[in-house]
Amino acid sequence: MDTKGDRYYIDVRGISIEVVRKDIKHFYIGVHPSNGRVRVSSPLRLDDDAIRMAVVSRLGWIRRKQAEFEGQVRQSHREFVTGESHYFAGRRYRLDVIEQDVPPTVRLLNNTKIGLSVRPGSDRAKREAVFHEWYREYLRSRLPPLLEKWEPKLGVKVKEVRIKRMKTLWGSCNIRAKRIWLNLELAKKPNSCLIYVFVHEVVHLLEPDHNDRFHQLMNMFLPQWPIYKDKLNTAPLAHENWRY
């Protein structure tokens, strides 16, 4: 989630560091998938020299995390043709494209195949649009039970949940509007990943920043969140770059 603050970049031994200055007590460093982007949240009292020293002290860890992300499996660019592999709800399926003069649809044929029916002559963009609408409907169907379970558990009310393709985030939260956005890519991931991102964003209604209190709340409401997060960040990545 993005929060307001003084945001800029510094270079530390050849690594570009995104710095966000906030009214917080502690200093946080994060290395984000898929390209190992480094982001720090710094108290306002620290100057750039202090921030650089803090980053230098963690350079070994930062470079190990970046190496892990560099070696992470990525999906190739998809053409939406028969024989391709596509992911749905954490499983990999083989795509079977059927051209017929009926309304376009997507359905699971069995435990290993997904069927995509399109009109004759449909190009890649049309096939992708049909597929993504299927993903969107799947995620929409998952929202009511998530809201029913987690709103009373956290004691909050989410005004709206929207789904869209996002190039850099798995989810985001507009605290003032109480609106949550979920990445369409989550339709490809295991249900535990969707739960993690959803709860992560709902917790931001209680605590805007990724500080100690935020992690305490996550531990309280979803103790297994580190496992879910690791599963999300180690699953095969889309052709684009994502982070969380």
What is the rounded CA–CA span in Å between residue 2 and residue 15?
A: 21
Mean pLDDT for 68-78 is: 66
Give the up-direction half-sphere exposure of residue 164: CA atoms within 13 A in the CB hemisphere: 10
72 three-state secondary structure = coil
* pLDDT at residue number 36: 81
Q: In this predicted model, what pLDDT tens digit does every residue of 129-171 receive, in sequence order? A: 999 999 999 999 999 999 999 999 999 999 999 999 987 789 9
The pLDDT value given to residue 68: 75
- Tokens representing 209? 């920043």
| pLDDT at 1 exceeding the cut of 60 | no
Give me the pLDDT at residue 119, please.
95
Q: CB burial class (10 A; 0-12, 13-18, 19+) of residue 105?
A: middle
The pLDDT of residue 152 = 97
Tell whether domain 85-234 is in CATH 3.30.70.1050: no
Looking at residue 128, what is its pLDDT? 95
Is 0.85 surpassed by the pTM of this model?
no
Q: What is the pLDDT of residue 116?
A: 97
Cβ(205)–Cβ(150) below 8 Å:
no
pLDDT per residue as tens digits for the range 10-59: 999 989 999 999 888 889 898 876 678 899 999 999 999 999 999 999 99
* Residue ranges per structural domain of the chain: 6-70, 85-234
Query: In 76-222, where does DSSP find H-type helix?
Result: 124-154, 191-203, 212-221
* 168-219 pLDDT tens trace: 789 999 999 999 999 999 999 999 999 999 999 999 999 988 888 999 999 9
- Confirm if 203 and 154 have CB atoms less than 8 A apart: yes
